[in-house]
Amino acid sequence: MTDLVPTREHTELASAVRNLLDRRSDSRSVRRAIEQPTGFDTDLWSTLCDQIGAAALAIPEEHGGAGFTLAETYVVLEELGRALTPSPLLPSVVTSAALVSAGGQGPLLERIAGGAIATLAWSGVTGPADTAAEVTWSDGALHGSVSPVLCGDVAEILLVPAHHDGGIGLFSVDPTAAGLTRTRVAGLDPTISFAGLTLDGVPAEVIELDAANVLATTHLVGTLSTTALQVGCAQRGLDMTVDYTKQREQFGRPIGSFQALKHRMADLLVGVQMSRAGAWAAVQAHVHGAPNADRLAAAAASYCGESAMAVAAETIQLHGGIAITWEHDAHLVLKRAQALNQLFGLPHQQRAALIF
């Protein structure tokens, strides 16, 4: 039963990432990263890839990866969530999951393992698994548009699901190809960057013509990866709020000593603990190929999303006025929680997957 609790190796990995982010992704660094043209700190990303091997963890060794599992990726993502770090790891993980699932894509996987920015331009990334692609493939080229796409404007590797006469396929596109327009869109959350893509006869390489199963697996991986970010984000909001209410005094006492506030924070802790337990178990179920893995993933996603939103709302409310200033990190927690809530399907859509 040891897989229900992170191992010592997982704990050490988490510490290593946290130490790095403490130094390189504090509040000031996050704000600087947001302002960069890429929307993230490219130096930090290089360090994450070189020192931690973040992008390579779940990629098989024969394709230049570390040959670990999604569990190790989960550990890194939870820390990135906690630090509110802008990062291309989520689309990278999703894209490599698609390629591993499709099979035989060594060269692309090697580039991703090395840190190339990769993304999957599919509305399933911001919605439920049964969302159709808005792109079609004919005569070897792609037509249509899709938005919003995670890191869509800066991706060096770009996969696009598209309809064709025989079903839904998965294609690879040169991000610099003629006919492809990529436009950064102003997101609700400045720490997660999106772009809109239009494809006007863009030449495409076939990865897999019958990609329905590949996309289902990819959606599952994306869902689980998002729960990691949500758990980290919720933990950050809770920590920040507990610290603040211990220090802030009103009516001659720390506001954290007021029982109504204590009970609300206690409820948040309960939610965060349950989220983490559910998310970790779902990741382990996926890694072990358990038959109920997709149900556990949907359950965890519905719960982690709502729990992170609840923490974020209280983070704002219990910080009071300073929460709604740009200088304070409380609003970043809120925007991150809200943005994550939509990824791979809203909680109610995840729940819909759990009933007949």
Q: Which of residues 121-160 bind its own copies (CB under 8 A)?
A: none
CB 140 within 8 A of CB 203: yes
Amino acid at 356: F
Contacted entry of other proteins, its own copies, none for residue 339, CB cut-off 5 to 8 Å set by kind: other proteins
Minimum gap (Å) between residue 126 Cβ and other proteins:
4
* 225 token code pair: 């990866």
Minimum gap (Å) between residue 103 Cβ and other proteins:
26
- 289-312 burial by CB neighbour count: b if 16+ within 10 A, else e? eeeebbebbbbbbbbbbbbbbbbb
Minimum gap (Å) between residue 54 Cβ and other proteins:
23
The smaller minimum CB distance to other proteins, of residues 115 and 271, is found at 271
Contacted entry of its own copies, other proteins, none for residue 74, CB cut-off 5 to 8 Å set by kind: none
Distances (CA, A) of 92 to 4, 95, 144, 162, 317: 26, 5, 23, 19, 34
Minimum gap (Å) between residue 33 Cβ and other proteins:
17
Q: Which 274-333 residues touch its own copies, going by CB under 8 A?
A: none
Count of C-beta atoms within a 10 Å radius of residue 7 = 11
Amino acid at 186: A
Rounded to whole angstroms, the Cα distance separating 58 from 287 reads 10
The smaller minimum CB distance to other proteins, of residues 108 and 339, is found at 339
Assign residue 195 a region (left: φ > 0; alpha: ψ between -120 and 50; beta: otherwise). beta
Residue 149: strand, helix, or coil = strand
Distances (CA, A) of 139 to 111, 160, 172, 173, 180: 28, 16, 15, 14, 16
Q: Which 263-302 residues touch other proteins, going by CB under 8 A?
A: 263, 265-267, 269-270, 273-275, 277-278, 280-281, 284-285, 288, 290, 296, 299-300, 302
CB 281 within 8 A of CB 203: no
Minimum gap (Å) between residue 256 Cβ and its own copies:
12
Q: Which 241-280 residues touch its own copies, going by CB under 8 A?
A: 258-263
* 170 token code pair: 């998965």
- The correct pick among 215, 331, 333, 337 for binding other proteins (CB under 8 A) is 331
Cα within 13 Å of Cα(228), Cβ side: 25
Minimum gap (Å) between residue 260 Cβ and its own copies:
4
* 332 token code pair: 């970043």
Residue 129: strand, helix, or coil = coil
The smaller minimum CB distance to its own copies, of residues 247 and 259, is found at 259
Minimum gap (Å) between residue 257 Cβ and its own copies:
10
Q: Which 159-188 residues touch other proteins, going by CB under 8 A?
A: 185-188
Minimum gap (Å) between residue 264 Cβ and its own copies:
8
Rounded to whole angstroms, the Cα distance separating 245 from 262 reads 9
Kindly state whether residue 323 participates in binding other proteins, applying the rule CB under 8 A.
yes
Rounded to whole angstroms, the Cα distance separating 151 from 208 reads 23
Mark residues 245-264: x for contact with other proteins by CB under 8 A, - for none: xx-xxxxxxx-xxxxxxxx-
Q: At what angle do helices 259-287 and 70-83 cross, to 10 degrees?
A: 150
The smaller minimum CB distance to its own copies, of residues 8 and 253, is found at 253
* Total residues in contact with other proteins, by rule CB under 8 A: 81
The smaller minimum CB distance to its own copies, of residues 23 and 263, is found at 263
Contacted entry of other proteins, its own copies, none for residue 166, CB cut-off 5 to 8 Å set by kind: none
Mark residues 47-76: x for contact with its own copies by CB under 8 A, - for none: ------------------------------
First to last CA, the chain: 30
* Total residues in contact with its own copies, by rule CB under 8 A: 6
Kindly list the residues in this chain that would bind its own copies in the complex (CB under 8 A). 258-263
